[in-house]
Amino acid sequence: MAEYIIKNGHVFDPLQGIKGDKADVAIKDGKIVKDNEVSSKAKTIDAKGKTVMAGAVEIHAHIAGPKVNVGRIYRPEDKLFTYTPKKGNIRMAGGFSIPTTFKTGYEYAKMGYTTAMEAAMPPLFSRHVHEEIRDTPIIDEGAFPVFGNNWFVMEYLKNNEIENTAAYCAWLLRATKGYAIKLVNPGGTEAWAWGLNCLSVNDPVPYFDITPAEIIKGLIEANEYLGLPHSIHIHPNNLGNPGNFTTTLDTLKLAEGYKTKNKFGRDQVMHLTHTQFHSYGGENWGNFESKSKEIMDYVNKSKNITIDTGNVTLDETTTMTADGPFEHHLTELNHLKWANVDVELETAAGVVPYIYSPDIKVCAIQWAIGLELALMAKDASRCFITTDHPNAGPFTRYPRVIKWLMSAKAREAQIKAFKNSDKVIAATHIAGMDREISLYELAQMTRAGPAKSLGLSGMCGGLKPGMDADVVVYDFSPDKPVANPDQIEAAFSRAAHVFKSGVEVVTNGEVVNNGNKRTIWVNAKVKENPQVMRDIQEKFLKYYSVSQANYESLGHHIIPNPYAIEVDAMQ
């Protein structure tokens, strides 16, 4: 493998506490090594006047799987004017809010992202998720199976059987080659199978008679019983509704008193995702307002919680989520085409296009809320940048979000451009905020922070010798003042160099190599649990529409390059 030495760049690495010092980064055999460990044959990359960071880590995006593909299939218009042709080994690539798998890998890589987590995998469809992951070049990926509406989980937790729940979770993670325990609208999506919902943490689920609060607490306990690399990752109840911030606080409070037990350096017991959608005040769209302050006051003082933002990018995009009832609600609101799939025993999904217009007051307030969350974060290593791609906007807009976070001037220009700017300012805090995220904080929010939350700090998100050589050089000088904020967006859109596992995959903003991506999954070993195995057998025989053997079969042709993280939960 080629050796590299990236010289004279300004390095930002929160893992090692490097805050922009000029330093060299050396790459050998796919790993980061100390400068003096590379030979004279090492190729020099001149990073003078440039910013050097580890590859970024995407903690939550909908990029692979059945609902993503429903989006692609039913929105041919999403491809218009977006296509780049094939070039050598680089495949043709298209799609704006729901890019093809090739485009997904290439666009992430061009921005310097090298690891990504598919946010919601319906277990019955794990084969589909993994086929798409396999066809997404360059970036390492994992996927979160959903547990919050799962029949086994609800039945065990109704009886407070944490050990059984943990055994089932371990089994499901292995059967689906999943990474973490994800909850989406816990309880509410099972209610949706009857056309109902659970809008608060105390609404009981029809028939199963368990509340979202009980599901959430039970899964926190199961997760810590297993000591998994990531905490539970939760999309709370009542997404998208004015006044929902109370449900969010109720959800966050369920983590109180819990401490993590894991060998992966993770500190949090709950990761609350796309928090923007859950920080709404008011009672209706008329008096809709930001409650980012209430949310961040709580998050800032709760060290056992991490969040990601879910920033609105002001684009026409496609919403897709396992919050089936929310998507139905959305189509009744905007009358755009609605797709829905209820999944037996497990979950559901809905897809509806959405236009976040700067002329609409509500959309502008949503935009503001997403930024406020990040700007109010006292600990940048617990607040990560996402757009809940594609729900609040395409991930290709990260550079624009970064521009807004790093430049108060850019934010002002956007606020002035809103049609209803006065009303927006009155309903939010954004206009008064002059904080500008620094490059170090950016590295915390997009690299070290998400890696730590995922339990992957040994592997990615940092530049410590011994780690995978996922290194990015941005054509952005920390020394020179930024004349025009658009320079920020341009620099972070097209990295000068990107290395993935020591292979140069992007040069001058162009993809030059398809890489050799890995699929990261968690293999948790628990002691034998005959009761759970019997329950699994029984449900497959009686209720599932596929056989257990076929559900569990995940051949090598579907996951050609697996990377298992072993967890010993034998207790």
Partner 1 sequence: MTKTVTDVVCPFCGTLCDDLEVVVSDDGKQLTEVYNACVIGTEKFLHSQAKDRVTRPRLRQEDGSWKEITYDEAAEYTAQMLANAKKPLMYGWSSTNCEAQSMGHEIAEMVGACVDNTAAVCHGTTLIAVQDIGIPSCTLGEIKNRADRILFWGCNPAHAHPRHMSRYSIYPRGFFTGKGQKSRKMIVVDPRVTDTAKLADVHLQVEQGRDYELLNAFRVALNNEWLPEVVAGIPAEKIREAADLCKSGRFGIIFFGMGVTQTLSKNHNIDEAIALTKHLNEFTKFSIMPMRGHYNVTGSGEVLAWQFGFPYSVDLTRGFARYNPGDTSTIDLLARGEADAFFTIASDPGAHFPISCVKQIAKLPSVCIDPHQTPTSGISKLHVPVAFAGVEVGGNAYRMDNVPIDMRKVVDPPAGMLTDEEFLTKVRDRVKQLKRAG
Which stretches of the chain bind partner 1, using CB under 8 A?
A: 64, 66, 68-70, 72-76, 78-79, 83-86, 91-92, 94-95, 100-102, 124-125, 127-128, 131-132, 135, 193-195, 207, 328, 331, 337-345, 348, 351-352, 542-547, 549-550, 553-555, 557-558
User: What minimum distance in Å lies between the beta carbon of 467 and partner 1?
Assistant: 31
User: What minimum distance in Å lies between the beta carbon of 62 and partner 1?
Assistant: 13
Identify whether the C-beta of residue 290 lies closer than 8 Å to the C-beta of residue 428. yes
User: What minimum distance in Å lies between the beta carbon of 541 and partner 1?
Assistant: 10
Closer residue to partner 1 in complex, CB, 273/347? 347
Closer residue to partner 1 in complex, CB, 409/539? 539
User: What minimum distance in Å lies between the beta carbon of 93 and partner 1?
Assistant: 9
User: What minimum distance in Å lies between the beta carbon of 456 and partner 1?
Assistant: 26
Closer residue to partner 1 in complex, CB, 194/563? 194
User: What minimum distance in Å lies between the beta carbon of 334 and partner 1?
Assistant: 12
Closer residue to partner 1 in complex, CB, 70/369? 70
User: What minimum distance in Å lies between the beta carbon of 261 and partner 1?
Assistant: 35
Closer residue to partner 1 in complex, CB, 66/461? 66
Q: Which amino acid is at 503?
A: V
Closer residue to partner 1 in complex, CB, 543/563? 543
Gyration radius (Cα) of the chain, Å: 22
Count of CB atoms within 10 A of residue 339's CB? 18
* Cα separations in angstroms, 283 against 89, 235, 244: 53, 21, 9
In angstroms, rounded to a whole number, what is the distance separating the alpha carbons of residues 44 and 10? 16
Tokens, residue 505: 């995959």
Closer residue to partner 1 in complex, CB, 1/92? 92
Count of CB atoms within 10 A of residue 570's CB? 9
User: What minimum distance in Å lies between the beta carbon of 109 and partner 1?
Assistant: 18
* 192 closest CA partner among 319, 344, 391, 342: 342
* β-bridge pairing 471-474 and 497-500: antiparallel
Closer residue to partner 1 in complex, CB, 73/413? 73
**Strand (E) or helix (H) holding 279:** none
User: What minimum distance in Å lies between the beta carbon of 155 and partner 1?
Assistant: 11
User: What minimum distance in Å lies between the beta carbon of 439 and partner 1?
Assistant: 35
* 312 closest CA partner among 369, 352, 360: 369
CA angle 334, 318, 516 (to 5 degrees): 170
* Spatial CB neighbours of 211, under 8 Å, sequence gap ≥ 6: 187, 198, 201, 202, 203, 204, 205
Using the CB atoms, write b or e for 68-94: b if 16+ within 10 Å: bbbbbebbeebbeeeeeeeeeebbebb
Identify whether the C-beta of residue 130 lies closer than 8 Å to the C-beta of residue 561. no
Closer residue to partner 1 in complex, CB, 490/554? 554
Closer residue to partner 1 in complex, CB, 126/306? 126
User: What minimum distance in Å lies between the beta carbon of 537 and partner 1?
Assistant: 13
Closer residue to partner 1 in complex, CB, 223/318? 318
**Strand (E) or helix (H) holding 474:** strand 471-474
Residues written for the chain: 571
In angstroms, rounded to a whole number, what is the distance separating the alpha carbons of residues 26 and 447? 19
* Spatial CB neighbours of 499, under 8 Å, sequence gap ≥ 6: 4, 27, 55, 469, 470, 471, 472, 505
In angstroms, rounded to a whole number, what is the distance separating the alpha carbons of residues 299 and 391? 23
